[in-house]
Chain A
Amino acid sequence: MIKSELVAKLAQANPHLYQRDVERIVSTIFDEICTALARGDRVELRGFGAFSVKNRPARVGRNPRTGQPVEVAEKFVPFFKTGKELRERLNAEPGTAPDAGQTTPETAPSPSGFGGSDV
C-alpha cells in the first residue's frame, strides 16, 4: 500500500470528507512525526509503536574492498520500535482464533526479561 492508496481507503470510509482533506490529514500526521523527531522528541503511539532518534557516534570505518580506514562522522538516525499490540497481532495465528477451539498450542515464551519497555 502506498500513500495514495491509504488516502483512498480512508476517503472511502469517510464519505463526508473531501479527498484533498484526507490527503492533508495523512500528510499532517507524518509531517508532525518528522518535525517531532527533528527536534529530538520521541513519538509514542501505543499499540502501534514508537519512533525515536538514535545517536551514532563518529567512528573509524573501513573500506571493505581496500581495507583502508575511513572516518565516519557522527550521525543521528530515526528508529522505530514496534508496539506490543501490533507485534502480537502480527504473530497471531489464524488457527488460534477463539472459535478454532481445542488444539491451542502453548503460548509462545514471553520475551520479557530481554529488556526494553513495551509500547
Chain B
Amino acid sequence: MGRTVTRAQLSEAVYQEVGLSRNESADLVEAVLKEISDDLIVGNTVKLSSFGSFSVREKGGRMGRNPKTGEEVPIKPRRVLVFRPSHVLKEQINVSLSDLKAAGSLPDGVVLDTDES
C-alpha cells in the first residue's frame, strides 16, 4: 500500500540532513513552500532544476456542464497552476516503478490511479 508523505516527513528529512532543530526545520519547509507560492501568485514561473517547473496559465471562460445534472454552468476565466516534471524526475519515477512492478512489489491503491487522458 502506498503511503502518504507530508510536511512532517519533509521536516524530519531536513532535521536529519542539516541538523537544525525540529522546529526550525519545519519553519524552513514552510518558508520554501511560501516563497514558491508567493512567486506563482505574482504570475512568475518557478523552475527547480532536476525537479520540474511550476507555471501559471490563464484560462479563458467557457460553458461547462455539471456532469451530474447535465445543467450548463458558465466557467469564469481563471488562473491555473501547471506543474511540468523535469526529465530527470520523470525518468527516475518511471524506472523505479517499472522495476518495482517487475518485482511484483508495486504499491497499490490510492497512489497509482490509471488515467487515460
Contacts and interface: CB of A to CB of B under 8 A. Distances in A.
Chain A interface size, under 10 / 10 to 19 / 20 to 34 / 35 or more: 35 or more
Contact of A28 (B17, B39, B40, B74): B17
B48 A3 contact: yes
B37 A48 contact: yes
Interface in A11-28: 13-14, 17, 21, 24-26, 28
A113 B81 contact: no
A42 B35 contact: no
A25 B9 contact: no
Contact of B74 (A1, A36, A109): A109
A74 B46 CA distance: 30
A21 B25 CA distance: 11
Contact of A29 (B10, B41, B73, B93): B10
Interface residues of B, number: 66
Per DSSP, are chain B's interface residues mostly helix, strand or loop, or mixed? mixed
A31 B18 CA distance: 14
A81 to B, nearest CB: 9
Contacts of A80: 54, 81, 83, 85
Interface of A: 1-3, 6, 9-10, 13-14, 17, 21, 24-26, 28-34, 36-49, 51-57, 74-80, 82, 86-87, 89-91, 108-109, 113-115
Interface of B: 2-7, 9-10, 13-14, 17-18, 20, 25, 28-29, 31-33, 35-37, 39-41, 44-52, 54, 56, 66-68, 73-76, 78-81, 83, 85, 89-90, 92-94, 96-98, 100, 106-107, 110-115
Given A55-B114, A89-B41, 16 more contacts: A2-B49, A10-B31, A21-B18, A25-B18, A25-B28, A54-B115, A56-B114, A76-B94, A76-B97, A77-B93, A78-B90, A87-B81, A90-B79, A109-B74, A114-B67, A115-B67
